[in-house]
Structure 1
Amino acid sequence: MKIAPFFTVLALSLLFARKENKSQEIFKTEFQSIIDSNNVKGSILIYDLKKDLFYSNNFDWAKIGRLPASTYKIPHSIIALETNVVENDSTLFKWNGEKRAYKIWEQDLILRDAFQYSCVPCYQEIANKIGEKRMNGYLNKLQFGDMDVNSVNLDLFWLEGESNITQFQQIDFLKRFINSELQISKRTEQILKRIAIIEENDEYEFYGKTGLSIRNGNNNGWFVGYLKSEEDTYIFATNIEPIENTDNASFLKARKNITLEALEYIR
């Protein structure tokens, strides 16, 4: 009976030791050069899963919460599959014939294409079927940033309002997904990987999702995902904004191009 307090103290000590164990952060001047050469401002954040290292040009920027925009389609798809609102990656979303923001959305789309094309109306349909209560319940379970979801903003909360997520939180979420720590089914994991795959070859698998939000007239762009090979896994969350002379088309391409160039420096 007398040894119980000792083990309690030991357990608490180990717990606090784990909490205080912080991954090393390494500043990369090369990343800032990539940002500057693309005529934007922002932060590239890459996490080396094997070495437990973070690389960035701007760690302060990476700690600021921002609207997730279409990067939310990752947890959104997970919730849709877990609640059976969507059956699989071939589930069809019928176009109602109304004009949409982008021509590519004006067609019937299966889930994988809706994800790849960032079809907002498709995911608004999903959100309304999931409902406020289940959406919040799963968000509490998944711990994806700080989403502000209510009955009024249910089909827009990831695009406008008070929802926010940092680059570090994006990487933490993807890390838990990769390590099968989200407490979701293997089937859902497999389907999510199928819809998020960008490239697959003999050397690596590359998964990702872009995002774009406009708050107070300011564009904010995301590219999040991971590159997995036999040697290592790199999880990334790039967040950028245009500067005075940034071309809009170039800005949209820069989200992905910047990340790919940065990955070359640390692989």
Structure 2
Amino acid sequence: MKQLLIFCLCIACFSCKEESKRNKKLQEKSATAKITNNHIQKEVFQEIIDSAQLKGAILLYDLKKDTFYSNDFSWAKTGQLPASTFKIPNSIIGLETKEVEDQHTIFKWNGEKRFFKAWETDLTFQQAFQRSCVPCYQEVARKVGVKRMHTYIDKFQYGNIEVDSTNLDNFWLQGNARISQFQQIDFLKRFQQNKLPISYRTATIVKEIMILKETENYVLRGKTGWSIVGEHHNGWFVGYVNSGDQVFFFATNVEPISKGFVQKEFQNNRKIVTYKALREFINLSN
């Protein structure tokens, strides 16, 4: 009887050890899965968005670590109108088709009243990009035409975009065109790494006009976007930061939580929340 009891205890001990080993393996497998999936939830991003009275997602991608960070991966996978973030591929297409010569090409103002006072003047291509001049880029799109626009968008694998003769100069602002935050970063990553089927000259010019801030420690490139459909407002800020041997890509997509929001604050907060998120990884103080 005593020998049987000892035998049973040994079996139980062995089983416990085996169970412990299995649990350890499962934990290791789970940890490996997290690394493989390269998606890390960042609650601090949600706190940043909440503090700005917004809803939506911040998506950051660390190229060196091949890792994505976000507060809401489901939102980041949802397609939205590209709005003025489309000025990045539109600039590339304008240059590649030679409808725009370079960053110094002048867009003449026709004297008509425009939505923003800053658009009511002659603008260089670089100024048109940085002031997000919709009429200037509508002019580019009309010159490029439906066929070539379609060809380049397909080449770039840029979101899910529908272009035809009825929407050529506004498809990025209204309608069924959609791109997700993940797709924005995928496009920007290929652009930054010179993997798009475009000339080195075009890439260099567009990278130059995208610069928002340049210091000894980093170079930040980006573009905002804002679509308004009825009472629905959706805002973008996309781009990337080069800092030493690090590259961080970002795609922020947010909406106001109330109808009575202040538009100027919403305009600024797209950038502010993104900068706060980036500061979790890179020193942007200088």
TM-score by length of 2: 0.85
Q: After superposition, give the CA deviation of every residue in 1:123-180 in whole Å (9 maximum; x if it has no partner).
A: 0110000000000001110111111100010000000000000000000000001111
Partner of 2:134: 120
1:265 corresponds to 2:280: yes
Partner of 2:64: 50
1:187 corresponds to 2:204: no
Question: How many angstroms apart in 2 are the aligned matches of 1:185 and 1:252?
Answer: 33
* Structure 1 segments (4+ residues) deviating >6 Å: none
Cα–Cα, structure 1 residues 259 and 72, in superposed 2: closer, same or farther, change >3 Å? same
Question: How many angstroms apart in 1 are the aligned matches of 2:169 and 2:89?
Answer: 14
Matches within 5 A, 1:1-267: 23-244=37-258, 246-267=261-282
Is residue 171–residue 235 contact of structure 1 (8 Å, CA) maintained in 2?
A: yes
Q: After superposition, give the CA deviation of every residue in 1:10-65 in whole Å (9 maximum; x if it has no partner).
A: xxxxxxxxxxx965000001000000000110000000000000000000000100
Partner of 1:14: none
Is residue 23–residue 52 contact of structure 1 (8 Å, CA) maintained in 2?
A: no
Query: How many Å apart are 1:215 and its aligned residue?
Result: 2.0
Partner of 2:11: none
Query: Aligned residues: percent identity?
Result: 55
Is residue 40–residue 246 contact of structure 1 (8 Å, CA) maintained in 2?
A: no
Query: How many Å apart are 1:248 and its aligned residue?
Result: 1.7
**SS of alignment partner, residue 151 of structure 2:** helix
What amino acid does structure 2 have at the position aligned with 1:49? Answer: L
Query: How many Å apart are 1:247 and its aligned residue?
Result: 2.2
Question: How many angstroms apart in 2 are the aligned matches of 1:22 and 1:122?
Answer: 43
Question: How many angstroms apart in 1 are the aligned matches of 2:176 and 2:231?
Answer: 16
**SS of alignment partner, residue 224 of structure 2:** strand
Higher relative contact order (CA closer than 8 Å, sequence separation 6+): 1
What amino acid does structure 1 have at the position aligned with 2:268? Answer: K
Cα–Cα, structure 1 residues 22 and 135, in superposed 2: closer, same or farther, change >3 Å? farther
Is residue 32–residue 57 contact of structure 1 (8 Å, CA) maintained in 2?
A: yes
**Aligned residues: CA RMSD:** 1.1
**SS of alignment partner, residue 172 of structure 2:** coil
Query: How many Å apart are 1:216 and its aligned residue?
Result: 3.4
Q: Which has the larger radius of gyration?
A: 2
TM-score by length of 1: 0.91
